[in-house]
Amino acid sequence: MHPATLSLPSWMAAQQHQVEQALLRVLPSEQKHPQRFHAAMRYAVLNGGKRVRPLLVYAAGELSQAPTEVLDIAACAVELIHSYSLVHDDLPCMDNDVLRRGKPTCHIAFDEATALLAGDALQTLAFEILSQPLPNLTATTQLLLLKELSHASGAGGMAGGQAIDLAAVGKQLNQAELEQMHCLKTGALIRAAILLGAHAGQIEAEHIAALERFAGRMGLAFQVVDDILDCEADSQTLGKTAGKDAAQDKPTYVSIMGLAAAKAFAADLHQDARAALTPFGDDAKRLLQLADYIITRSF
Ligand code: GRG
């Protein structure tokens, strides 16, 4: 069956399998010295994540008719950065968590120093694979992909957002400050996933602008839904410790706006995101379906 005609669950399963196989190929073998370190890197990645960011890479890549080989590498690079961020976020010096993706966190399964190094190596592996020769990609476009991913990961993106988050514990943030934090911490990598997929193929500048609007709204919506789930779902369903935001006195959309207003805000962001894709017509089907999934997900 042609991928475009698959139902969303079948398409997601196919793309999740696709990125899983690609991740197995790019991660260092556990048979290779230093075995335990490589085992920690593989544990941190191959442990049952939803692969939302790779799915966004593939969906945006369908729009730009990007080559699968390039999308596989872009999807892996984004997921490696995401997995590294989870390993470091769970460390005792940050969130100090013991449960991730339904399993002991990397530093519990191994040890703190190994988890720290495994996170570092996952981050650099992302840039190593993205800078290898890739088919049908000009050097200028490849540099653009590298720049998008490095910016999204660094001080102007995820790491900067995490720094704001750590400094905000026990403080009152207003909604604009919370939005800025999450646009960096969660939104930047989601945006990068969409832009990497789009730039991996052929796409017009005005369409990139539309995708940027979509990505901005969905990045924030992802976090609002995460805040709602943290307060409504249990740890077993989430695969991570539920209710941590309130326990750690962290400002969230639920704590600032209340649950009902946070749900209404997520719905507004969802509508704005869908509207941004109007110029693509039916070609944006997968991204629209993924937007619906991100809003209605239960974990
Ligand atoms: C350590 C530099 C550094 C950054 C950490 C992303 C992040 C910043 C921390 C993760 C903590 C967290 C729970 C953030 C909220 C949103 C989020 C990124 C959730 C996890 O993403 P999912 O739901 O996870 O896609 P899976 O496990 O499915 O991949």
CATH number at residue 40: 1.10.600.10
Q: How many CA atoms lie within 13 A of 114 on its CB side?
A: 18
Q: Which residue has the tokens 């490849």?
A: 142
pTM of the model: 0.95
Angle at 155 between CA 158 and CA 183, to 5 degrees: 40
187 lines ligand 1 (CB under 6 A): no
Q: Which numbered atom of ligand 1 lies nearest the CA of 89?
A: 1
Rounded Cα distance, 212 and 200, in Å? 15
40 lines ligand 1 (CB under 6 A): no
123 lines ligand 1 (CB under 6 A): no
Going by C-beta distance under 8 Å and a sequence separation of 6 or more, which residues neighbour residue 286? 8, 11, 58, 59, 62
Residue nearest to ligand 1 atom 10, measured at CA: 86
Between the CA of 96 and the centroid of ligand 1 the distance, in Å, is 14
Going by C-beta distance under 8 Å and a sequence separation of 6 or more, which residues neighbour residue 146? 127, 130, 131
- Residues 144-203 have pLDDT tens digits of 999 999 999 999 999 999 999 999 888 888 999 999 999 999 999 999 999 999 999 999
Alpha-carbon dihedral sign for residues 289, 295, 297, 299? positive
Nearest to 78 by CA among 115, 59, 114, 51: 51
Strand-pair partners of 99: 104
Rounded Cα distance, 67 and 71, in Å? 6
R_g over Cα of the chain: 18
Between the CA of 99 and the centroid of ligand 1 the distance, in Å, is 13
- Residues 48-60 have pLDDT tens digits of 899 999 999 999 9
85 lines ligand 1 (CB under 6 A): yes
- Are β-strands 103-104 and 99-100 bridged in parallel, bridged antiparallel, or unpaired? antiparallel
Instruction: Classify 103 as helix, strand or coil.
Output: strand
Residue nearest to ligand 1 atom 5, measured at CA: 85
Q: Provide the token pair at 239.
A: 């695969």
83 lines ligand 1 (CB under 6 A): no
Are the C-beta atoms of 190 and 158 separated by less than 8 Å?
A: no
Residue nearest to ligand 1 atom 27, measured at CA: 49
Between the CA of 246 and the centroid of ligand 1 the distance, in Å, is 17
Report the length, in residues, of the chain.
299
Residue nearest to ligand 1 atom 2, measured at CA: 159
Q: Provide the token pair at 234.
A: 């249990």
- Residues 70-106 have pLDDT tens digits of 999 999 999 999 999 999 999 999 999 999 999 999 9
Number of domains in the chain: 1
Between the CA of 17 and the centroid of ligand 1 the distance, in Å, is 21
**Domain limits at 86?**
3-296
Spell 157-183 as b/e; 16+ CB within 10 A means b: bbbbbbebbeebeeeebeeeebbebbb
Cis upstream peptide for 34 (omega within 30°): yes
Mutate to test the pocket of ligand 1, among 185, 190, 241 (most ligand atoms within 8 A of CB): 185
152 lines ligand 1 (CB under 6 A): no
Q: Which numbered atom of ligand 1 lies nearest the CA of 83?
A: 29
- Residues 215-271 have pLDDT tens digits of 999 999 999 999 999 988 888 888 878 777 777 888 899 999 999 999 999 999 999
Q: In angstroms, what CA-CA distances link 20 with 16, 26, 201, 235, 265?
A: 6, 10, 22, 25, 33
86 lines ligand 1 (CB under 6 A): yes
